[in-house]
Amino acid sequence: VGAAPPVASMGDYLAAAGGPSVRFYDGAFAEVCSVELSGAVIAVCRSRGPEGAPGVSIITKDALAVCELRGTNGRLACIALGACDVDGEPRCASEFNDAIAVAAGASLHVVGWVNNGKSADEWRLPSYDLKVLASASTPSTVTALACTKNCVAVAAEGHAVSVFSYNGGDLQMVALAQDPSVVRCLGFAGSQLILGCDRYVKVLDVSEDSARVLGPPSHAP
């Protein structure tokens, strides 16, 4: 699949991308199916379908699609459940509860399922669209992101780390910090945000009880 491919788990399977290809492997690392896209895959991440089934999000240069594996004629196939355009230049993505957080350029998007109520079925089954639910600007181009239950943290060029809260409405910035080193990766461990920098690892407390980090951007450390 190429060098250092994006990889994500989905239920009992792994999805690995290389160039315009996404290949799916079972627990024995045997390829069970693959899909070819029109452009190079930038990132893949675990996600869920509109009714909660395990899936995988595939991000290309201008769009995001959510797919799942289904049995067809005795074989597994990758089926697209929905797709939407993403403004900017998508760079990374992460599962965010039942949605997907996508960093594109100097923006952060939350993408999720919306019941449009347009099903043609006589039983009026739900019909879902994949849409951008909320967006926010970041200080500069995002290089990494991480999610926890209600927050998304992003690292941007220029040493800025921002934390946004999301509860189904707008994305609200709740913390902004400057680090002297370039932040290469982010990760949450409970209420602690771990920054992987060029020369060290730094841990920030972003719990509700922490006035040191959590608060208006003007009060950032």
Closest CA to 90 of 52, 40, 56: 40
Q: pLDDT grade, residue 60 (50/70/90)?
A: confident
Q: Compute the distance between CA of residue 91 and CA of residue 4 in angstroms, rounded to an integer.
A: 15
Looking at every residue in the chain, the average pLDDT score rounds to 81
Residues 128-185 have pLDDT tens digits of 888 999 999 988 888 889 998 888 999 888 778 888 988 888 898 887 777 777 788 8
Q: pLDDT grade, residue 207 (50/70/90)?
A: low
Residues 77-136 have pLDDT tens digits of 888 888 888 877 888 899 998 899 999 888 999 999 988 766 555 545 557 888 999 999
Q: Give me the pLDDT at residue 101, please.
A: 94
Q: Give me the pLDDT at residue 81, please.
A: 87
For the record, the structure tokens of 201 come out as: 């690892």
Half-sphere exposure of 106 (CA within 13 A, CB side): 8
Residue 204 parent element (H or E): strand 201-205
Please give the full DSSP string across 156-173, using - where no structure is assigned. ETTTEEEEEE-SSS--EE
